[in-house]
A and B are shown apart, each in its own frame.
Chain A
């Protein structure tokens, strides 16, 4: 493991806080580095990060093992917390935008990452990180799809001809019941947004709510 500066500054609901404070007193911290398109509307935000984050709903199991789960968004706090609220997520959400160079040193800033931290008193250590398909432990949808006859129904899979493989990406042009596939990014929306819109939630990420 590698020691980090525990005072690296995040932005949270009450303003600046340190990496150490993000542990919430627990011994372990698992941070998901959420990709963010600054200034873009909700529909254009990351479908993959949205896909996996929506599935992280129950944190008590992690808490019972002294693990804090938090999102370290790679964009501004104000617009991204509105996205968190639009989606109805409940996990701690911080902006790590100002210290990504330190937190993700040697890695591609902007890409999705899971990074695991350990706290000893006031000292903070990084014990593990992963990216790309390494973040699939957050997902159960793909894992369950893999058990069904048609799998993930994505084009890259090795399936017989004529089997459903229309889903190339984790966004669609509409919701239930048709989920029309998207031909080009950033068409459509991340899939889990449709039910939020149907429920009447605002997807406006701007301060004025215009």
Chain B
């Protein structure tokens, strides 16, 4: 597939020297950084679940009870 290069793209000669990219590290260091991020990502996912439950569950528990009477 042909692709028109993005005009805003920085020079690519040595991407690690442009400063516009993350630091190159070894796999162990990279994974340690991701592991730390993962803790926050999981908390984020669970907060999304809790929000959905609050939206579709807990709040409407009371509404539902009233409707049922």
Contact = CB atoms under 8 A, between A and B. Distances in A.
Given A146-B52, A149-B56, A128 B34 contact: yes
A174 B15 CA distance: 51
Interface in B1-46: 1-3, 5-6, 9, 12-16, 18, 21-27, 30-31, 34, 38, 41, 45
A123 interface: yes
A41 to B, nearest CB: 31
Interface stretch (A29-37, A42-50, A157-165): A157-165
The interface size bin for chain B is 35 or more
B6 A27 contact: yes
B34 A133 contact: no
Main secondary structure of the interface of A (DSSP, over half): loop
B14 to A, nearest CB: 7
A2 B12 contact: no
Contacts of A66: 6, 9
A1 B41 contact: no
A120 B1 CA distance: 19
A36 B54 CA distance: 36
Interface residues of A, number: 35
Given A1-B21, A106-B27, 7 more contacts: A118-B15, A118-B22, A121-B12, A125-B21, A133-B45, A157-B49, A158-B58
Interface of B: 1-3, 5-6, 9, 12-16, 18, 21-27, 30-31, 34, 38, 41, 45, 48-49, 51-53, 55-58, 60-61, 64
